[in-house]
Structure 1
């Protein structure tokens, strides 16, 4: 089984422009993400896919692999699908460029759901972790996910889900971590579908799969560090580093 990791990297992020080129310690955010993904040793190839010459040069000038996307894309999945369309690959892992604390164990668990005869029906998988801080639970920058008893996603939202109506029950909140794994054909299919209503209103790309009836298998991880969405996240990441 050929497994590759693709890191979509857009320069002009709406909430925090040029966030991937911000220094975190002695390296940029995007280089931390790339180097830590390579260091897992899980992939036959790791590559950054970007619309920016600045990011492209940042990776290649330090010995990394990067490619420029040709078209304009609405989502990271669309961006990497353009690149993998002509590649001989079985599983594609989408590691978001703003995940500088990538670790081996969560990605290993994510890849494991595609192994063996019993999981041939798994087309898409992603990561989540328990979210406990009320500040982050209510923060729309933290995407929440609810799952069924088989750990398939029921809904992703920037709103607080589940809503805590019954005060006698303590709900578990899961934060969706923007790391996906796809069978190649599932990723190609994604790009052939139009943007769906929930995806458009929430600005959460994986809702396109759910709205087209494709289950997303969720994998719990204990810790994936800090995703860089805002300047405040960068400050928290620097302290963690």
Structure 2
């Protein structure tokens, strides 16, 4: 159901079959259904006006056809999920002001409240793009390159995203790197995005940038080209996505616990 104070939005889910760490990831089973189907279920629970999967693989399209899911077939040479969704936006001919949520194809448990938060963040800001973050509570996450850190300005817009331990608390870390510094917010980026469709189409025309390539973070392309990214803190726990076989097993365990609870 659509939440009353929420503007209309669509959800587009990029999904590719190839994955270096978990080949065929979208079709791996969780609770007896392909993971991509579980992602679509999460999208539908959020109350989107339209849910579409953007893919270049017939196997994914065939698996989704059984469940009545719309698939937008895209090229196979896209460098990122945002690039794939840019083609999808052009194919679907969404009006420029349409709010498009990019829900990753490996987020089977994305909470509706988190999706609503990124929609609100975009609707409340003139920035063409928005994303989410959550507070870091463990110092090990600060130094983990697999945890993307977000640094924001006083308005809540993104200053930078990095795999490095940012911000660097010079004096505190000189004394002790085993605890989080006091009174300095550390944020873990959550890879959920919302864009206005007009900007999403423009995104594909932006040339890749040095920082984007160095950090392997597609959102840096937006900042390097001078565009703003609004951010919000997720109001609820956002379970981690599925990247590895171990993640898949944890997802299956979590699913079974929910079913039998």
Query: TM-score over 0.5 for the alignment?
Result: yes
Q: Which runs of 5+ in 1 are unaligned?
A: none
Match of 1:14 among 20, 25, 35: 20
Partner Cα distance (1:174, 1:182) in 2: 21
- Provide closer, same or farther for how the CA distance between residues 78 and 105 of structure 1 changes in structure 2, counting only shifts above 3 A: same
Name the Cα RMSD after superposition.
1.9
- How far residue 161 of structure 1 moved from its aligned partner, in angstroms, is 1.5
Q: What's the secondary structure of 1:154's corresponding residue?
A: strand
Give the TM-score normalised by the residue count of structure 2. 0.84
Distance 1:228 1:104, change over 3 A: same
The 5-angstrom pairing of residues 155-174 of structure 1 reads: 155-167=160-172, 169-170=181-182, 171-174=184-187
- After superposition, where does 1:164-203 map in structure 2 within 5 Å? 164-167=169-172, 169-170=181-182, 171-203=184-216
TM-aligned CA deviation for residue 70 of structure 1: 2.8
Aligned to 2:4: none
Corresponding residue SS for 1:218: strand
- 1:37 matched residue in structure 2: 43
Q: Deviations over 1:55-109 (max 9, x none)?
A: 1112112221112113510010110111111413311111111111112111112
8 Å CA contact 1:93–1:182 kept in 2: the answer is yes
CA spacing shift, 1:11–1:35, aligned 2, 3 Å:
same
Q: Give me the whole-angstrom Cα distance separating, in 2, the residues matched to 1:236 and 1:208.
A: 32
Q: Distance in 2 between matches of 1:133 and 1:18?
A: 32
User: 160-169 or 209-218: which moved more?
Assistant: 160-169
Match of 1:79 in 2: 84
Q: Once structures 1 and 2 are overlaid, which stretch shifts more, 160-169 or 198-207?
A: 160-169
Runs of 4+ in structure 1 displaced over 6 angstroms? none
CA contact (8 A) 1:141 1:229 kept: no
The question of whether the paired residues in 1 share the 8 Å contact of 2:121 and 2:231 is answered with no
Which ranges of structure 2 fall in alignment gaps of 5 or more residues? Answer: 1-6, 176-180, 256-261
* Post-superposition offset of 1:2: 5.1
- In our comparison, the structure showing a higher alpha carbon Rg is 2
